[in-house]
Structure 1
Amino acid sequence: MHRPAGLPKVRGVSTSSVPRPEPAAPSGPRRRPALARITRRPDPDGALPALALFAAVRLAGVLAVVLTNAHRGHPLVRNLAHSWDSRWYLHIATHGYGRLIWISPDGAVQTDWAFFPLYPGLIRALTALLPLTAGQAALLLAWAAAGAAAYGVYAVGHHLHGRGVATALVALWAVLPHAVELTIAYTESLFAALAAWSLYCVLRGRWLWAGSLAALAGLARPSGFAVAVAVALAAAHEALRRRGRVPAALWAGAVLAPLGWLGYVLWVGSRTDDLLGGYLKVQSAWDSRFDFGAGSLRFVKALLLHGGGFVYPAALVIVSAGVLLFALLCLERAPLALVVFAGVLVLLVIGASGSFSSKPRFLLPAFPLLIPMARALARTWRLRRARAVLVYAALTAVSLLFGAYVTAVVHSPL
Structure 2
Amino acid sequence: MRLARLAPPSTLDGASGRTVVQAWLASRGLIALVALVLALREGRRVTDMVSNWDVQHFTLLAQGGYFAEPDNILMAFFPGLPALLAAGLAVGVPVAVGGVVLSLICSGMAAAALARLGGPWAAALWLFAPTAVFTTVPYTESLFCAAAFWAWERARADRWGTAALLATVACTVRVSGLFLVGALGVMILTAGGLSLVDRIRRAAWLLLPAAAILAFATYLHALTGSWTAWYTAQSTGWVRQLTTPWQSFLNTIPAIVPGAYADHPWWAAVFRGEVVSMAVGLLVTVWCLTRRLWAEAAWVGVQVVAFSLSYWFFSVNRATLLWFPLWIMLARWGVRRPAGVGPGLVHRALVVAGVGLGVVGMIWWSWLFFTGHWAS
Q: CA deviation at 1:328?
A: 2.0
Other-structure match for 1:369: 326
Q: Does 1:259 align with 2:211?
A: yes
Q: Does 1:151 align with 2:108?
A: no
Aligned length: 361
Structure 1 contact 145–189 (Cα < 8 Å) conserved: yes
Other-structure match for 1:282: 233
Structure 2 contact 270–375 (Cα < 8 Å) conserved: no
Which has the bigger relative contact order, CA under 8 A and spacing at least 6? Answer: 2
SS at match of 2:217: helix
Over aligned residues, Cα RMSD in angstroms?
Answer: 3.0
Q: Does 1:326 align with 2:285?
A: yes
Relative to structure 1, the CA distance from residue 55 to residue 38 in structure 2 (aligned partners, 3 Å threshold; closer, same or farther) is closer
Q: CA deviation at 1:394?
A: 0.9
Cα offsets for 1:60-85 (capped at 9, x unmatched): 122113313433443334221x1111
Q: Does 1:268 align with 2:220?
A: yes
Relative to structure 1, the CA distance from residue 366 to residue 272 in structure 2 (aligned partners, 3 Å threshold; closer, same or farther) is same
Structure 1 contact 201–210 (Cα < 8 Å) conserved: yes
Relative to structure 1, the CA distance from residue 366 to residue 393 in structure 2 (aligned partners, 3 Å threshold; closer, same or farther) is closer
Q: CA deviation at 1:178?
A: 1.2
Relative to structure 1, the CA distance from residue 325 to residue 337 in structure 2 (aligned partners, 3 Å threshold; closer, same or farther) is closer
Match of 2:307 among 341, 346, 349: 349
Match of 1:291 among 227, 243, 246: 243
Other-structure match for 1:18: none
Supply the distance in 2 between the matched residues of 1:395 and 1:150 (Cα, whole angstroms). 21
Other-structure match for 2:297: 339
Structure 1 contact 208–249 (Cα < 8 Å) conserved: no
Supply the distance in 2 between the matched residues of 1:74 and 1:395 (Cα, whole angstroms). 28
- Structure possessing the higher radius of gyration over alpha carbons: 1
Other-structure match for 1:174: 127
SS at match of 2:283: helix
Other-structure match for 1:196: 149
Supply the distance in 2 between the matched residues of 1:413 and 1:38 (Cα, whole angstroms). 32
What does residue range 11-160 of structure 1 map to in structure 2 within 5 Å? 40-43=9-12, 45=14, 46-80=16-50, 82-101=51-70, 109-129=71-91, 131-157=92-118
Q: CA deviation at 1:355?
A: 6.9
Q: Does 1:406 align with 2:368?
A: yes
TM-score with structure 1 setting the length: 0.78
Relative to structure 1, the CA distance from residue 303 to residue 393 in structure 2 (aligned partners, 3 Å threshold; closer, same or farther) is closer
Worse overlay, 252-261 or 217-226: 252-261
Relative to structure 1, the CA distance from residue 84 to residue 44 in structure 2 (aligned partners, 3 Å threshold; closer, same or farther) is farther
Relative to structure 1, the CA distance from residue 390 to residue 79 in structure 2 (aligned partners, 3 Å threshold; closer, same or farther) is same
TM-score with structure 2 setting the length: 0.85
| Residue identity in the other structure for 1:397 | V
Supply the distance in 2 between the matched residues of 1:70 and 1:311 (Cα, whole angstroms). 26
- The answer for unaligned runs of 5 or more in structure 2 is 262-267
Relative to structure 1, the CA distance from residue 362 to residue 206 in structure 2 (aligned partners, 3 Å threshold; closer, same or farther) is same
Worse overlay, 87-96 or 71-80: 71-80
| Residue identity in the other structure for 1:401 | I
Instruction: Tell me the percent identity.
Output: 22
| Residue identity in the other structure for 1:343 | G
Structure 2 contact 241–310 (Cα < 8 Å) conserved: yes
Q: CA deviation at 1:389?
A: 7.0
Worse overlay, 137-146 or 36-45: 36-45
Give the structure with the larger helix fraction: 2
Structure 1 contact 323–346 (Cα < 8 Å) conserved: yes
